[in-house]
């Protein structure tokens, strides 16, 4: 959406944030279904599409939506699966917050310009 | 992120684990119930969970691919009852055996611990979503 007017970077950040949000939904779904028999773990991939698009110079708005895929075989319903998901969860939160921080820093010059250079 | 959709996934997981805990607690409470309304000893409860139907939670951004959990059924285990020789008991049969439910305290405790751990994991996911959404609200505020 509107962040495109200051370059392509915010668009890529937005895409990554959307991908991480979807990944969180996948982790939450896996945790909620940890004890459901025959549940196939869901995962989200978007980093490859993002890297390819950045290399090729594609506009962020032309990127394909992050893909949700399911594991081929149902995993055993065991606590070990939940632990793996919790680790992924923490990593996801850190990445999301780091991206937000990066976006904030990126927008700081605009804020400076809007306030006429006054802090 | 659509916080309410993601929170719905985690809260559905918490509801299911809560039900699992309740079922084990009920089993433990009825360990010595030798006579029920249907006649015969108490039959232990088992909660079977599965992915929630797409109509139950709206996941517009994932098209229903990332479901929460729901209770598919609450089954009564049909294990043979434990027979204990107590000739003076009112529910004793002709040979003096009383049929008690086949409820093992250890199994039920393990089920309770599993349910509590799963509940905590769902709670952690909910808190993580909350942290992410709150941080997103701070964009542009602290510059």
Residue A29 dihedral angles phi and psi, to the nearest 5°: -65, -40
SS (H, E, C) B35-91: CCCCCCCCCCEEEEEEECCCCCCCCCCCCCCCCCEEEEEEEECCCCCEEEECCCCCC
Chain B residues inside the 8 Å CB shell of A26: 66
Structure confidence by residue, pLDDT tens digits, B8-50:
999 999 999 999 999 999 999 999 999 988 888 999 999 999 9
**Per the CB < 8 Å rule, is A35 touching B142?**
no
Pull the structure tokens for residue A72: 């081929």
Q: List B residues 62-91 in contact with A (Cβ-Cβ < 8 A).
A: 62, 65-69, 72
Of residues B25 and A54, which shows the higher confidence score? B25
Q: What is the rounded CA–CA span in Å between residue A27 and residue B127? A: 13
Statement: residue A75 has pLDDT above 70: no
Q: What confidence score (pLDDT) does residue A6 get?
A: 66
Hey, how many other C-beta atoms are within 10 angstroms of the C-beta on B79? 12
Which single residue is written with the structure tokens 């939450």? A28
Among B13, B135, B143, the residue with its CB nearest the CB of A32 is B13
Instruction: Show Cβ contacts of residue B43 under 8 Å, excluding neighbours closer than 6 positions.
Output: B36, B76, B77, B78, B101
Give CA torsion, residues A14, A20, A25, A28, to 10 deg.
-150
**In the structure encoding, which two tokens stand for residue A49, read together?**
């599409």
What is the model's pLDDT at position B121? 95
Query: Could you report the per-residue pLDDT of B114-133, keeping only the tens digit for each?
Result: 999 999 999 999 999 999 99
Residue A97 DSSP label? H
- Per-residue pLDDT, averaged over A81-92, amounts to 91
Euclidean distance between the first and the last CA atom of chain A, given in angstroms as a whole number: 28
Neighboring chain B residues of A78 at a CB cutoff of 8 Å: none
Whether residue B128 and residue A36 make contact (CB cut-off 8 A), yes or no, is no
């Amino acid at each position: 959406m509107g962040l495109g007017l200051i370059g392509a970077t915010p668009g890529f950040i937005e895409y990554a944030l959307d991908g991480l949000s979807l990944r969180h939904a996948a982790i939450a779904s896996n945790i909620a279904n940890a004890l459901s028999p025959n549940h196939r773990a869901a995962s989200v991939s978007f980093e490859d599409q993002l890297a390819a698009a950045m290399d090729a110079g594609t506009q962020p708005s032309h990127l394909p939506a992050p893909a949700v895929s399911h594991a081929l075989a149902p995993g055993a319903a065991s606590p070990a699966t939940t632990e793996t998901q919790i680790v992924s969860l923490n990593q996801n939160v850190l990445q999301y917050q780091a991206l937000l921080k990066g976006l904030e820093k990126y927008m700081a010059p605009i804020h400076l310009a809007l306030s006429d250079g006054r802090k | 992120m659509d916080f309410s959709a993601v929170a719905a996934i985690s809260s559905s997981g918490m509801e299911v684990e809560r039900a699992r805990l309740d079922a084990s607690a009920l089993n433990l409470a009825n360990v010595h119930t030798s006579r029920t309304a249907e006649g015969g000893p108490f039959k232990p409860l088992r909660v079977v969970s599965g992915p929630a139907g797409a109509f139950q939670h709206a996941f517009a951004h994932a098209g229903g691919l990332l479901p929460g959990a729901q209770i598919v059924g609450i089954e009564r285990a049909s294990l043979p009852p434990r027979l204990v020789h107590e000739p003076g008991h009112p529910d004793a049969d002709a040979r003096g055996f009383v049929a008690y439910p086949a409820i093992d305290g250890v199994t039920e405790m393990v089920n309770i611990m599993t349910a509590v751990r799963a509940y905590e994991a769902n709670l952690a996911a909910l808190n993580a979503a909350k942290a992410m959404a709150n941080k997103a609200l701070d964009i542009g505020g602290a510059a």
